[in-house]
Structure 1
Amino acid sequence: MDIAEIGPDDHARMTEAAGLAATVRAADAPGGQPIIAAHFAAAIAHPRPGHRVHHYTAAIDDRVIGYLRLDVAPENPGTASGELLVHPAHRGEGHGTALLDHALAVCRAEDRRTLTFSTIYALDDGPQRSGDGTRFLERHGFTLALDLVRRRLPVHTPDDAAEQRLWDEALAASGDYEVRSWTGPVPDELLDAMCRMDAMILTQVPMGDLDMAPERVDPARFRAKEAVLAAHRMTPVHTVAVHRATGEVVAHTRVDVYDVPDARHGHVLITLVDPAHRGHRLGLLAKLANLRHLREHHPDVTELWTANAASNAPMIAVNERLGFAPVERIGIHQRAVGGGPDV
């Protein structure tokens, strides 16, 4: 097996890696959130601002059967997060271990202390999932650091009366606030406020046992992130809640949709309410307003996917009231890199 890093112009290997990812997702999580191959390949070609990223393929006779991504954020130089995939037909042959050994060697050479990978596994009463990735990581010394539950919502089949009651409830509790929705880049007059909300994410969202420093976001970096999102063939759909008395943005939700003709789903990237303004149903109000904007302006999107920490009871309650149904778990596993060979 040959492990090779994907170069910035190696579009053929990017496409092969994307095809492998789609195959693995379909096999390991049938009926789950699909991989959009064009987006996956574009994300390889265009790293997020400030991130140091390596992408590798593993090939047998020049046919890609494995993929490895290592991503280091500028605020967390000691931690590499990533993805390790092996074609279902080639599992149990040592390829995953070879890719993991390669990942650990890269981390040691770059002085990374911790390595994290995510896997999909089944809910107790959910659809079947292979669980191969979870078992593989556990055998190699990884432990679960953050447990997430992924949920799905059909966009165009609401209970109109029930949704109207939720809307009325949220409006009644949020009289001091107004919502504003749009598609695409953040308006200039909201840019500083959105930088503040973006930087707040890792301080407010449950992170389990992951030790992650919050992101530092200024207007230049925010705009660079928007440009990369567009290069990834995605468009953000935003709603914010604005405090009427101060004009301050105090809640934000975002759904990303794909600029790919056959894509029919989007995913909720974040919903966040400033702690000083909680208790006014702002999360519910923003999510409902964003859903209505999505239906009107992106009618081809038929389902939404979201993932929440299993411990995030308040946001889970909001999502379940909106009709999001649990489908599967996502485990983020981590281990110390260590100084010697993997055993």
Structure 2
Amino acid sequence: MSKSFDPHALEQVDSVEASAAVYFSLLRSSRATAQDYADFDNWYARDEAHRLAWARVEREWRQAGAMRSDPRILTIRERALANRRPRHGWLRPLAAAAAVLLVVAGGLAYHQLGRAPNPPTLMAGTNSRALSTDVGQQMTFRMVDGSTITANTASDLSIRESDTRRSVLLQQGEAYFDVAKNPQKPFTVMANGVKVTALGTAFSVREREGAVAVILVHGKVRVDMPAVGGDTAQSAILAPGRRLVWRNGQFSTEPVDAERELGWRTGMINFDRAPLENAVAEMNRYSTQKIVIVSSRIARYPISGSFRLGATRGFLQSLEVAGIARIGKENLASVELTAP
């Protein structure tokens, strides 16, 4: 028989909102006991701030309704419950709440950060346009033919449109393209010498440290890759639901969950058993305060779940409450993660 959740464990959590998120996850799990419900009733009745935090958690959960019943999320949660072995029985529901990195906790942290809303959609008024975003910012550009370009965090693009072609130069970062069909007016994206051509489709292109990744959501694209050294130029036709990665003159393709990978378009970042160091690298893309892993033994710990973009605090608190890592030294520029 599972031990009841220890309410004193919430002393590890440094915000009322995070406590509410932990209770919310616990009471929705199959492991909640009668004592857990009694402890929650006491917590809820003790302070008006607790009741307000609970209401915010419920609102966040309703807003994430499409995700809360997603079988992929449920699978991830069950996997975390099966794999995680807390030292104390009462920590198991808490570990599930945090190791899965709940949407709720991330959403609350996102709002606490006070991140400014995205800029308004820009309407093309000329044939050439530069598009840039800062860290943690996204921007949507609508071309005169109805095609849309959504630039992700810290991205720079140049956009040209003429009577015969539509072209984009991705100088850095990532962008999602929803292309209006027009066979007489090809749509091309260039990134580090790699050329992606589409007629009517939706896809993303990301350039990072010399590598280029293309994800196709629907339609069809041709990817032309440059010759490197003595190699010859290469081309590939990409099918929906696949990702092509080009690096150092070589490319590979793999199946991918496009909606999960492109969750940033709806303000989410998703992990499915990603090594902690990879998850941290992704979180850092959306925040000026960078997370630094100072203990190598936690770098490969698998992380699963979904967070709001820029939700650094919620991400860190969840890791700490789960016993995966501990928050160390912190300043405006960085925050350290150490072994628990």
Interval of TM-score (by shorter of Structure 1 and Structure 2): under 0.3
Question: Computing the radius of gyration over CA atoms, which structure comes out larger, 1 or 2?
Answer: 2
Larger RCO (alpha carbons 8 Å, 6+ apart): 1
